[in-house]
Structure 1
Amino acid sequence: MTKTVLISGAGVAGLTLAHWLRRHGFTPTVVERAPALRDGGYKVDIRGAAVEVVRRTGILEQVRERRTDVRAGAVVDRSGKRVASMNGDSFGGREEHDAEILRGDLTRLLFETTRDEVDYRFGDAIAALDGTSVTFSSGRTETFDLIVGADGVHSRTRELAFGPESGFVHDMGYRVAICTVPNHLGLDREELTYVSPGRTTLVYSTAGQTTAKAMFLFTEPAGIDESDPRRALREAYAGQGWEVPRLLEAVADAPDFYYDRLAQVRMDRWSAGPVALLGDAAYCASPASGQGTSLGLVGGYLLAGELAAAGGDHETAFAAYEARMRPFAERNQKLGPANVKRMVLSSSGQVRMSMVMLGVMSRLPGRDRMMAAMMAPLHKAANAIEIPDYATRSQHP
């Protein structure tokens, strides 16, 4: 009977799985390539069914205490004039029970639920798989009953068990860059967005932070060498208005600079023998979907619950997990392509029309209702799954 489970990746999905495996009596081990838990990070939303998972995990109150508290959002033009403004929840498309939190704060809360009960191994990674025998980068070799890859869109576990990522990772034709920048605009829990053809720039501050975060979302930079991501970003944004030149100066020294393509992971199956995939490694919806964190939370809960329900029979559990999770994941993946086309406009005409429409809408009495109608597909997708109430046990199965 299954007892030991190796989880590759100490992100939202992996930590959620570790928590619920322990609640169900399993013995999880988490290996993470980074030398420590990743703090900070971009703000993320917890929506719909994922809110219930967080509540059952016992951290909903702490999540709400650490909310970003972004109170307002605005779209600005090249000169910095606010074209449209609205409250933070409307701007972020959040409903009453949704929660926005920094990714690092969420992972810290999840980690604290099991830090004394789970074997966490930071600064190491899976180097090779031979059935259930795992060789780590550190040179250690161990055997586990099951192995779960929760190690992101560029999953090493997936590569070892299923093959090269080129067969599963689908480029959406956009790039994203994120980093911490000085809050030279003096933002106080506010988010500003600047849009130009093929280029969108966001800057925001959150509660308790003296710095700001910047995000650059743009179409694939044709003809630009991306081997040096910071240089590629500067070239892609050359000649942009507003505060972009000053933000690009800050990028040069940002210690947490992140650059990647927007992509989705699509696979015919999420398990192979004793190896299963979870979160972005299996069904990345891309940051444009707004649902990556929620998919990780729900997926981790379901996988642990199905393993418990099947008494550790992984073939039965993996099949049940995929049957429950796949329709939900695929529905949320559909949000990504549509959302990114609204976030990154392709022509000057689209930008002008969008600015006019946003300006008019932000001044109308029913603007919150109109925004809610625009965000309805997101909220329907976020709630498009039933969260089973799996019984938990205190001893190992």
Structure 2
Amino acid sequence: MGAALLRDLVPAVIGVLVRRGADFASAEDAVQEALIRALETWPDDPPRDPKGWLVAAAWRRFLDAARAESSRRGRELAVETRAAPPADPTPAGDDTLRLYFLCAHPSLPPAAAVALTLRAVGGLTTRQIAEAHLVPESTMAQRISRAKKRIAGLRLDQPGDLGAVLRVLYLVFNEGYGGDVDLAAEAIRLTRQLAALTDEPEVAGLLALMLLHHARRASRTGPSGRLVPLAEQDRSRWDTGLIAEGVAILQTALARDRLGEYQAQAAIAALHADAPSTSETDWTQIVEWYDELLALTGSPVVRLNRAVAVGEADGPQAGLTALADVDPGLPRHTAARAYLHERAGDLEQAGELYAEASRTATSVPERDHLTREAARVRHLLRR
């Protein structure tokens, strides 16, 4: 059994321990220890009942920890009397869904919710999560510990916020890659799992969005990590299988007629994926989807992206007019102005704006890309 398939069992096993009387933090710790042991022993001696093996191993570790930490015999006896109760008939899927809600609880900061979701639902070790986020293991351990303490008093059967769960999964997806864990792939795995537990169209919309973005991953950067903008990407490197799957999932979700922001974003991504080139993209329809998305979210980032799309559909001057209604302090606002001014033929202004945007870029690849754009436009001016 592969590590990813093994990790699929983790939420259900945590749920069994909680139903037997363990608190969430102790149950999660015990399952993590059992998971590490499984990864060490299963390749040579795989069990016939993987879930049963994990439940038994985690429950033993929970009891050992409870005995070691208990300072009162009464508490220890109470734990021992629960040593082998029959499993609750609650479906394992219910446990997993409740864990999603618990780990994405609104009381948790986004970074903590992401880390806790990767551990409790994803089954990753603290070391793997730390490496993926490029932080020391001790730092990640503290983050997870604080998160577990914050939700310690919450019951597993409390209603959850699906929107918060989807936001956390999208954050995981956008973390990208680090260490030996591909967080984008992990987010897709977890979202597939969530989609199997609920028929909410927005879950399908998020899965479609992830697949459509992931399909273009190989073309987004050059050999040295250089950022490659959409217009310059080699579309022959896009994963047509992922695109077809994402489009099919999106179409099924849209047919439910319960539009949400992830479905609208996925529709925009699908239009980009369907186009043979930037010039052949259906920009008019993209603007229409941005209108839908703006109505749903009111997001200034959506308004910014819509202005760029308007510039493609109706010309750069129309795009600049739309951009004038967007907060100029928004990240990438200056870069968008630079692009639209270049499209309008105002190379001097575009060069100055590209240079200005590079100084406020939020990442090194973005800064380097904008610096190159400024140099390219200035070179055109000297010709």
The bucket for the TM-score relative to the shorter chain is under 0.3
**Structure 1-normalised TM-score?**
0.27
Q: Which has the higher helix share?
A: 2
**Structure with the bigger percentage of strand:** 1
